[in-house]
């Protein structure tokens, strides 16, 4: 199976129609978008370029703890160092990057797929698990 992980490309299993958010959006509305679409992260695009990412766990945790002031925007709280992968990289590469970008506090569940500086998709752990079922 490991051999197959080195054969399947990220572009073969990534989500291409990515739901995004702008830095000016209120964190409450961004969290509602995450819940509505049942996704774990929203890439943040500023003038069409990747500027950051917000996750359901980060936003939800901070909203529950009331850590945000009224009117807090996505741009104020987004993670700017976004974990990315290229569409031509393999699933093995993506899994390794998810692990490498992880911290002691948790794992990275998704990578933004970037080609020549442009976001072209997103690959999440669920996409990889679905791909594994077919290998």
The CATH number of residue 2's host domain is 3.10.580.10
Average pLDDT in the chain: 91
User: What is the pLDDT, as a whole number, of residue 64?
Assistant: 86
| Mean pLDDT of all residues in 88-116 | 89
pTM of the model: 0.89
Residue 53: its pLDDT value, please?
Answer: 96
Structural domain count, the chain: 1
Q: Are strands 49-55 and 41-46 parallel, antiparallel or unpaired?
A: antiparallel
pLDDT at residue 15 tops 90? yes
Q: What is the mean pLDDT of residues 111-130?
A: 94
CA-to-CA separations, 29 to 19, 87, 92, 134, in angstroms, rounded? 13, 30, 34, 36
Helix or strand run (H / E) with residue 125: helix 125-134
Write out pLDDT tens, residues 43-97.
999 999 999 999 998 899 888 888 888 899 999 999 999 999 999 999 999 999 9
Domain that holds residue 5: 1-134
pLDDT of residue 101: 85
Most confident of 4-8, 92-96, 102-106, 107-111: 92-96
Decide: 98 and 8 in contact? Cβ < 8 Å. no
Confidence of residue 1 (pLDDT cuts 50, 70, 90): low
């Amino acid at each position: 199976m490991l051999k197959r992980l080195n054969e399947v490309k990220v572009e073969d299993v990534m989500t291409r129609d990515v739901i995004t958010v702008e830095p000016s959006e209120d964190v409450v509305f961004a969290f509602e978008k995450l819940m509505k679409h049942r996704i774990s992260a929203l890439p943040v695009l500023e003038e069409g370029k990747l500027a950051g990412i917000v996750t359901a766990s980060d936003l939800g945790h901070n909203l529950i703890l009331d850590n945000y002031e009224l009117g807090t925007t996505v741009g104020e709280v987004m993670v700017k160092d976004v974990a990315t992968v290229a569409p031509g990289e393999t699933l093995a590469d993506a899994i390794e990057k998810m692990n490498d970008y992880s911290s002691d506090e948790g794992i990275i569940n998704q990578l933004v797929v970037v080609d020549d500086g442009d976001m072209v998709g997103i690959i999440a752990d669920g996409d990889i698990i679905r791909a594994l079922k077919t290998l």
